[in-house]
Chains A and B, each alone.
Chain A
Amino acid sequence: MEKHLLEIKNLHVQYNTDEAVVHAVNGLSLTLDKGEALGIVGETGAGKSTTALSILKLLPDKVGEITEGSIVYDGIDIIKANNHTMREIRGAKITMIFQDPMSSLNPIMTIGEQIHEVLELHFPKMSAAEKDQKVDEILGLVGIQKTRKNEYPHQFSGGMKQRIGIAMALVAEPELLLADEPTTALDVTIQAQILQLMQELQKKYNTAMILITHDLGVVAEFCEKVAVVYAGEVIEQGTVEEVFTREKNHPYTTGLFNSIPDLTSDVERLIPIPGFMSDPTNLPEGCKFAERCPHCTERCRKEAPKLYEDGGHSIRCFLYETKGGQ
């Protein structure tokens, strides 16, 4: 079996709040190879960001807890890794672009300093001049004039701040980039620019990327593989081609497709998915989508389906049951 760059197996994460225990991720498994772009799709609260934060072990202190499973990055067991190892990974090997560029930059450090800090942390031997040059270079790549590096975040627009976030994430030329809804907080016109910029740089540095989004269109355009996440587990995964040809889909994925407008079909109204996602403090026993599923049977309510694989394409639904489910 070939070695993957990142392998997540049966990940369980929960948040222990004052009022209840929230099961955010429930047995999620993923693999990612070098240079590959994977899109994680799902609605708010599905556990997408939690998964990304778990990879960097940045879950909120004392509240977020990985209870089960493993995350192996390049042969390193992330869950068991000590702080020192994690610090060497963060910012250098695995980097992250956050959802809200407005609040993700330190307001009282210049943007140059903030990018520079990554180099200071991970390339202690690099000369000062070299670091400065690197900062200028990456600013150029993300389309910000290097003369502006002594300015503070509040002097930039939202799109510009996200460019700075990208510069910070890529200046150390990481192997894996986690992009957590990087364009959700931005204007639609800027979204495409930012995503294209990310894709260009990802290809340039041959960085693997996990793009978290709730937008299927974005995945189709920027990723090779896709994982659909529902209530903290992968319910469908495969290549973009396999999933988007829509020959075989999980009922939830079908629902997602039906709820986005499509210029080529004659459907006059969008069909929303009825109901709400299951309560993560009180998850159902069987299939977590059962309550909202048009194909739901008695069995779905009692027994949780496994991921049934067909080639590279796997779906967590009894409709596609084969012998060896995972």
Chain B
Amino acid sequence: MSKKIKKKTNLSNKSQLGMIVFRFSKNKLAMFGLAVIVILALLCVAAPLYIDYESVYQQSMADRFILPCAEHPLGTDQFGRDLFARIIYGGRISLLAGLVVVAMALVLGIVLGGIAGYYGGRIDNVIMRICDVFMAVPRMLLSMAVVAALGQGTFKMLIALSIAAFPGYARTVRASIMTLRNQEYVEAAKCCGTSSARIIFKHVVPNGLGPVIVSATLGLGGTILAIASLGFLGIGVASPTPEWGTILSENRANIRYYPYLGLVPGMFIAISVMCLNFIGDGLRDALDPRMKN
């Protein structure tokens, strides 16, 4: 077949990782997303350096509903608290909580999915049926039920969200391992006498990790949304602790007359989720250029 001979003239001398980084760096949306997320993360991490922690909770009836100005860049809420300070400190919680949930779910998913995919047979069957059980109800509902059982509280909510999220990762990991186990290039590598460590790190991990990293990145956005939703419903991070969904919930009654109170926290959620999705999509394209269209 004399169709396409894709020649990566300028790429051929780079390593696999180098090529992934190169392809990712050429994706404008993904780079934009990465830049925004990095800036946002830095702003949040460095918050104590430029925001007085007091101003997050400090109520002052004299300063209620100040519109955005030099002193309060995003205005103040019904208790006179500085919205910018609350949002930045809220970001610390939203982003960190999202990371914690994804990390916990990922560990559980990798372990269970790895065991299921590697051993197969009955163990696989049992693990997959367990996953089926946790996927029988929508994630949001399952997390709510677990919150109901464990009681309210930030850490309990994180556990609830992880329980609801892990089956998805377990399935992804299992599917990756299953396909890789039977890949011809893995067989070929075995035939060449390649050591199993080399097979695992050179062939299986780079090829199998891709889908997991992609679904974790995309999952992080979804998790931040879920945390915000629970916060909004009043069963997530409890007020007055700032969290983006909780901030929206607190200001709900006043949004009609002071729209910035609703617009700003929502935009922070939307922008960070969108940027995480850009990164996830970019990673997917970079890891598997064939998927791009």
Contacts and interface: CB of A to CB of B under 8 A. Distances in A.
A19 B6 contact: yes
A96 to B, nearest CB: 14
B5 A45 contact: yes
Contacts of A19: 6-11
A151 interface: no
B6 to A, nearest CB: 6
Nearest to B9: A20
B2 A22 contact: no
Given A281-B9, A282-B9, A22 B4 contact: yes
Contacts of A17: 4, 6
Interface stretch (A47-55, A164-172, A262-270): A47-55
A279 B2 contact: no
A127 B88 CA distance: 74
B2 A44 contact: yes
- Interface hub of B2, B6, B8 (most chain A Cβ within 10 A): B2
B3 interface: yes
Nearest to A181: B1
Contacts of A63: 4
Contacts of A46: 2
Interface SS of chain A: helix, strand, loop or mixed? loop
A17 B9 CA distance: 12
B4 A49 contact: no
A44 B7 CA distance: 15
B9 A15 contact: no
A184 B3 CA distance: 15
A20 B5 CA distance: 10
Contacts of B7: 19-20, 22, 279-281
Contacts of A48: 2
A16 to B, nearest CB: 11
Contacts of B3: 15, 24, 49-50
Q: How large is the interface on A (under 10, 10 to 19, 20 to 34, 35 or more residues)?
A: 20 to 34
Interface in A1-43: 15, 17, 19-20, 22, 24, 42
Nearest to A277: B5
A207 interface: no
Interface in B1-23: 1-11
B197 to A, nearest CB: 33
Interface string A81-104: 000000000000000000100000
A42 B5 CA distance: 15
Interface residues of B, number: 11
Contacts of B1: 44, 49, 99, 180-181, 184
A316 to B, nearest CB: 18
Contacts of B4: 15, 17, 22, 63
Contacts of B6: 17, 19-20, 22
A281 B7 CA distance: 7
Interface in A63-116: 63, 99
B153 to A, nearest CB: 50
Nearest to A229: B2
Contacts of A24: 2-3, 5
Nearest to A47: B2
A87 B156 CA distance: 64
B5 A22 contact: yes
Interface in A154-200: 180-181, 184
B8 to A, nearest CB: 5
Contacts of B2: 24, 42, 44-50
Contacts of A44: 1-2
- Interface hub of A19, A46, A184, A282 (most chain B Cβ within 10 A): A19
Nearest to B292: A18
B287 to A, nearest CB: 16
Nearest to A21: B7
Contacts of B5: 22, 24, 45, 280-281
A24 B7 CA distance: 12
A134 to B, nearest CB: 32
Contacts of A47: 2
Contacts of A282: 9
- Interface hub of B5, B6, B8, B11 (most chain A Cβ within 10 A): B5
Nearest to B11: A19
Nearest to B26: A18
Contacts of A280: 5, 7
Contacts of A42: 2
Interface of A: 15, 17, 19-20, 22, 24, 42, 44-50, 63, 99, 180-181, 184, 279-282
> Which 6 residue pairs are nearest across A and B when measured between Cβ atoms?
A281-B7, A45-B2, A48-B2, A49-B2, A47-B2, A46-B2
Given A19-B11, A42-B2, A45-B5, 16 more contacts: A17-B4, A17-B6, A19-B7, A19-B8, A19-B10, A20-B7, A20-B9, A22-B5, A22-B7, A44-B1, A46-B2, A49-B2, A50-B2, A280-B5, A280-B7, A282-B9
20 contacts: A15-B4, A19-B8, A19-B11, A20-B6, A20-B7, A22-B6, A24-B3, A24-B5, A45-B5, A49-B1, A49-B2, A50-B2, A50-B3, A63-B4, A99-B1, A181-B1, A184-B1, A280-B5, A281-B7, A282-B9
Interface of B: 1-11
